[in-house]
Amino acid sequence: MAELGASKRLTRRLLWLVVAQVLFLLAVAGSYYATGLWGKEIRLKTVPVDPRDILYGDYVRLSYEISSLKPELWKEPGSEPERGDVIYVVLKPDHGLYQPAAAYRSKPQTVDDEVVLKGRVDYSWNEAIAVKYGLEKYYVPEGTGQDLEKKASDMVVRVKVAPWGQAKISGLEQDDS
C-alpha cells in the first residue's frame, strides 16, 4: 500500500516536471513572437559576410557599427565592462539609422524615440567595447548569400526591439541614404 502512494507521488512529480519544461519552451517561443508583435522597428547599418552552414544553408554573418562602442558611452563610473557581462545599449535615431548614445549594466529608462538593446560584452579595452547582440546571423534563401555579399557596403538591417531589450531581425534592405 505504501509503495502505491510513493508511486503516485513520483508520477505526479514527473508530470509537474514535464509541464514545467513545456511551459518554459512556450515562454521562450512566446517572447520571440511577442518581440515581433510589440517591438519597435529600428534600422542599423551593417556589413555582411557570406558563410554557409552545412545544416541550415546560406546565412549572412552581420557586423554592426553599433557593435564597437566608444568607452565614453559607458555610464557606470568606477566599473569597467568585462567579457561576458550583459549590458544595455541606448540607441537614438540619427538620419534614419540608430546610433549608440550610452551603455549601462542595468536597463535604463528611455525617452522619445530611444530604444534599449540588450547585448553581451565580447571584449573591452581602452579604445572600444565590443558587443554582441545575438543578431549576428541572418539565414537567407539558398543561393542568395553571395548577392547580399556584393551589396554589403549599402546594407541596412531592420530590427524589432521589444520594450524589455530582446531583439530580432525583421529583414535586410538597401541603404537609400
> Comparing 140 with 85, which gets the higher pLDDT?
85
Q: What grid cell was written down for 136? A: 549576428
User: What is the pLDDT at residue 136?
Assistant: 87
Average pLDDT over the chain, rounded to whole? 83
Give residue-wise pLDDT tens across range 100-144: 999 999 999 988 889 999 999 998 887 899 999 999 888 777 777
Q: Measure the CA–CA gap between 158 and 25, rounded to whole angstroms.
A: 26
Rounded to whole angstroms, how far apart are CA atoms 42 and 97?
7
Question: Edge-to-edge, what's the strand order for the sheet holding 115-125?
Answer: 68-69, 128-132, 115-125, 86-94, 97-104
**Side chain identity at 116, as an amino acid letter?**
V
User: Does residue 32 carry a pLDDT above 80?
Assistant: no
Q: What does the pLDDT average to over 79-91?
A: 92
Q: pLDDT tens across 68-78, in order?
A: 999 999 998 78
CA 41 to mean position of chain CA atoms: 13
Sign of CA dihedral 167, 41, 35, 159: negative
Digit-coded pLDDT (tens) for 144-158: 777 776 676 678 889
